[in-house]
Each structure stands twice: as structure tokens, then as C-alpha cells.
Amino acid sequence: MKFKFDFTGKRVLVTGSTMGIGYGVAEAFHDLGATVAINGRSADGVKKTIEKFGGGKRLIAAHGDMASSRERIAAVERALDAMGGLDILVNNAGRGDDALIDQITEEYWEKMMDLNLKGVFFTTQACLPALKHSKGNVINVASVAGVMGLPPGTSVYAATKAGVVQMTRMLALNLTKEGVRVNALCPGWIDTPMIRKDNEKIGNNGLINYINESVPMGRIGTVDECTGAVLYLAAPFTSYTTGAVLVTDGGLSAGH
């Protein structure tokens, strides 16, 4: 077996791929020969992302809010119908809205669960027939918050991501005889538009300074570093890896 990243002919759906980690992952799979379904909440956002990638037959528009049952099903159908099946599913769509314990409402709780937890499970469920047919694999993007405690305001977010981690293990156990691999990526602090927006809200580069001080490697991570981890989990030469939780956090969780 050749130890190289080559996804020529593979069909990939990356949810939440119009920005951040999802954008980087979708771009990398496309660059490495795959046909990639781009997903985002708006058709316009998906269209713009496809244009940034240069267009072409190997880019599929699959817009839809993965927190909505109706839109999620429609997005998956668009992707699978256009690609004729699926080899790799990357469940990346998620949200990280902060709220302190006394500020948490049922509406907020449900909003977080609908995308971060239900969205991951039911997207996988909708893709399973195609994945079983191709003996494909699933990569769930969780978070370091799913394996360790983080600052106040992340209680619900952490609960959803811990759920994704355990869901990954259970799906792996249940689907291994079907030939479907399921693994999770747990990023730490990664330089994405969401983090930059939060940093601006705090002011004085407060969040970035906190990250640089708290992460053992002394810096924030990059989208490329997460993308490399996803490609590794999806590669044919990791065919013996399922139920794994790969942490990319600069050492943040090592002492926890």
C-alpha cells in the first residue's frame, strides 16, 4: 500500500464547509482528487465557496441547515444524488455559543443540541445506506471540550461535544461489521473566523493572549493542522482505525 494522500474518485460530504475547519477540509479533499459536496446554511454561501474553489464537476452544492430535519435530509439527498453515493462523511457543522449556567435557557439548550449532537447523528443515519455500500468512513468533528473542562460559558457546548465523542465510539462498535469506520477529531483552540470574532468581542486581543498562555505549545492551532488530521483519519492506510478520538490541541488536554 502506498502511504500517500490520494482521494481520486472518492465522494465526500463535508457539513459546515463554507468557513473555518470545514472549508479547509473540503478544499483539501478537492485538491487531492475527490468530488466534494459543499454544505452551508445558505445556497448563496455554498455557491460562493464553490466559486472560490474554482468550480467544476467535482464540486457539488448541498446547502441546508443541519440543525433542521427537513433541510438536513434535503442537503444529504442533494449530495448523494449528485455524486451517486458517498465514501467519506465529515460531520463538521456545529456552533459554539457561550452562556453561563444562570443564563442558559431551554431554547439555547435545544439550539445547541439540535446542531452539535442531533445534527451529527441524523446526518450519519441519513448517509448510512450509501456508506455501507461503499464501505466508507465517518469523521466527526468534536472538540477538546468533549474530553476536558474549559472556561465558564461552555457547559452546554462541552456536553454536546462529549456526546459526539461517545457517539463516535458507539457508532464505530455498531458499524464495524458493516465495513464502516467512525472516528472523531477533537480540535483545541483553532484560528477560525469564530475565534477571531470572539477575540474582537473581548478586546485587547484578550482571547488570543489567553490561548497563547494556556496552550503548552504557546500558540493557537491552524485550520491546516486540523485538516491534516482529518485526511489521516480518512486515508486508506488507516483502515484499521475506528472508534478513535484524535486530539489536535497543542497539548492542552495532555495533563487532564
Q: Active site includes 232?
A: no
Integer angstrom CA distances of residue 127 from 44, 56, 73, 148: 24, 24, 9, 30
**Domain at 11-189+222-248: CATH architecture:** 3-Layer(aba) Sandwich (3.40)
Task: Name the average pLDDT for the chain.
Answer: 96
Phi and psi at 199, nearest 5°, equal: -65, -40
Question: Sorting pLDDT into bands at 50, 70 and 90, what band is 201?
Answer: confident
The predicted pLDDT at position 101 comes to 95
From 157, 210, 232, 240, the catalytic residue: 157
The predicted pLDDT at position 197 comes to 87
Q: For 147-190, what is each residue's pLDDT tens digit?
A: 999 888 899 999 999 999 999 999 999 999 999 999 999 999 99
Percent of the chain topping pLDDT 90: 89
Provide mean pLDDT across the span 223-242. Answer: 97
Provide mean pLDDT across the span 96-125. Answer: 96
Provide mean pLDDT across the span 236-244. Answer: 97
The predicted pLDDT at position 1 comes to 55
Provide mean pLDDT across the span 187-214. Answer: 91
